[in-house]
Amino acid sequence: MIETKVLTVSPHAPEPTLIEEAASIIKAGGLVAFPTETVYGLGADALRAEAVEKVFEAKGRPADNPLIVHIAHEDHLFDLVDEMPAKGSKLAKAFWPGPLTLVVKRTFLVPDNVAAHLDTVAVRMPNHPVALALIRAVGSGIVGPSANLSSRPSPTTAQHVLNDLRGKVNLILDAGPTTIGVESTVVDVTVDPPLILRRGGLPAEAIEKVLGRIHVSNEIEMLQRSPGTRHRHYAPVARVVLVDEGDQHAYAEAMQTFRQEGKKVGAIVHSPKLSDLERSEFIRAVPTSHEFIARHLFAFLREMDERGVDVIIVESVQEDGLGAAIMDRLRRAAEIPS
């Protein structure tokens, strides 16, 4: 166990002394959780294998699940990337800093454990003043997996990080809740057309506007190119059950069935049809906007666990824009653990 310090930092104009303190921990091989626009990340020096090893240990992350290296400046790519394909440059130019991760061929400087022994590395430039200031102060890339225990919902507040990683990280930079709420979109640009390996905060439609048609990986491609995706993800302790959008009948039936089994049932619903059926402290009736649902989804799943709910019934959303990432996370959360 190590002592975990929490420092409140301004999300817009991070205090240089706090950033320096955080950077010196990373430079010394320690772990700092930091905010990004998507979720909180767990930072360590990306070029030091033994620092990266601590990240896997702290999260309980399987070694075959590679990490994203976060950069603050295009120059940071030199250490990491052998060659940036033209389509990768185009995407970086259009969307960095932002919720986009590019998978590219890596240099020999990238430790094997960062890449889970693949010949590629994932890189992204986050759009958050605290993350950018921290990386600049370190002077080179830092790894940043979501700062949760492996398999749990990703953390969108410093409190979520503390709940999962107290005693395992040196410092948490608390800049308030993150804005996007789902992780970055991961795009493999070593192939043409580029392949989306993980749906995320940058909708596929936005990428297609820049590149034209792209591919979204099916489960098999995803497993081949991103082996860590086979592990359980985003799951609260409670069982997650999905119902179709606006399907009153399926919703009422699921409620009744689980209650008859003596289960404590919670729900996250958004369409008026379902929201108006019943109100209780275990039922979250939320606005229909994809932005709102993405921003709060992981927090709601964690909150249901804290309330001791056994089953969470979640209403599906339409799969356009951010809705595709929301449904991806929900389907994975709903998988029965093997």
* Gap between the Cα atoms of 129 and 126, Å rounded: 9
Of 58 and 186, nearer to ligand TXA (C-beta) is 186
69 binds, among ligand TXA, Mg ion, none (CB under 5 to 8 A by kind): none
Of 55 and 312, nearer to ligand TXA (C-beta) is 55
* Gap between the Cα atoms of 208 and 205, Å rounded: 5
Of 134 and 313, nearer to ligand TXA (C-beta) is 134
Residue from 65, 120, 127, 146 touching Mg ion (CB under 5 A): that is 146
- The position carrying tokens 């108006």 is 276
**Which pair of tokens denotes residue 48?**
């030091």
Of 227 and 246, nearer to ligand TXA (C-beta) is 227
Q: How far is the CB of 80 from Mg ion (least distance, A)?
A: 20
- Report in angstroms the alpha-carbon separations of 321 from 154, 229, 241, 246: 20, 22, 22, 19
58 binds, among ligand TXA, Mg ion, none (CB under 5 to 8 A by kind): none
Of 103 and 265, nearer to Mg ion (C-beta) is 103
CB atoms within 10 A of CB 8: 13
Residues 70-89 that bind Mg ion (CB under 5 A): none
Sign of CA dihedral 24, 26, 27, 29: positive
Q: Which stretch binds Mg ion (CB under 5 A): 19-27, 109-117, 141-149, 201-209?
A: 141-149
Return the amino acid letter for 74: E
* Gap between the Cα atoms of 299 and 302, Å rounded: 5
* Gap between the Cα atoms of 122 and 198, Å rounded: 12
Query: Total binding residues for Mg ion by CB under 5 A?
Result: 1
Per CB under 6 A, residues contacting ligand TXA are 36, 38-39, 41, 65-68, 99, 101, 103, 115, 118, 120-122, 126, 144-146, 183-184, 186, 197-198, 225-226, 228-229
Q: Which stretch binds Mg ion (CB under 5 A): 7-15, 24-32, 143-151, 285-293?
A: 143-151
Show the beta-strand stretches assigned E in the chain. Answer: 5-8, 32-34, 41-45, 68-70, 100-105, 120-124, 142-143, 171-174, 185-188, 195-198, 215-216, 239-243, 265-269, 283-285, 311-315
Q: Which stretch binds Mg ion (CB under 5 A): 50-58, 142-150, 171-179, 203-211?
A: 142-150
Q: How far is the CB of 147 from Mg ion (least distance, A)?
A: 9
β partners of residue 69: 123, 143
Of 68 and 240, nearer to ligand TXA (C-beta) is 68
Check if the beta carbon of residue 135 is closer than 8 Å to that of residue 76. yes
Q: How far is the CB of 280 from Mg ion (least distance, A)?
A: 31
Q: How far is the CB of 35 from ligand TXA (least distance, A)?
A: 9
Q: How far is the CB of 93 from ligand TXA (least distance, A)?
A: 19
Of 58 and 243, nearer to Mg ion (C-beta) is 58
Q: How far is the CB of 145 from Mg ion (least distance, A)?
A: 5
Q: Does 140 bind Mg ion (CB under 5 A)?
A: no
**Which pair of tokens denotes residue 192?**
């043409």
Check if the beta carbon of residue 185 is closer than 8 Å to that of residue 207. yes
Q: How far is the CB of 271 from ligand TXA (least distance, A)?
A: 28
- Residue 204: its H or E element: helix 204-211
Q: How far is the CB of 69 from ligand TXA (least distance, A)?
A: 8
Collapsing DSSP states into helix, strand and coil, what is residue 81?
Answer: strand
Task: Tell me which residues touch Mg ion (CB under 5 A).
Answer: 146
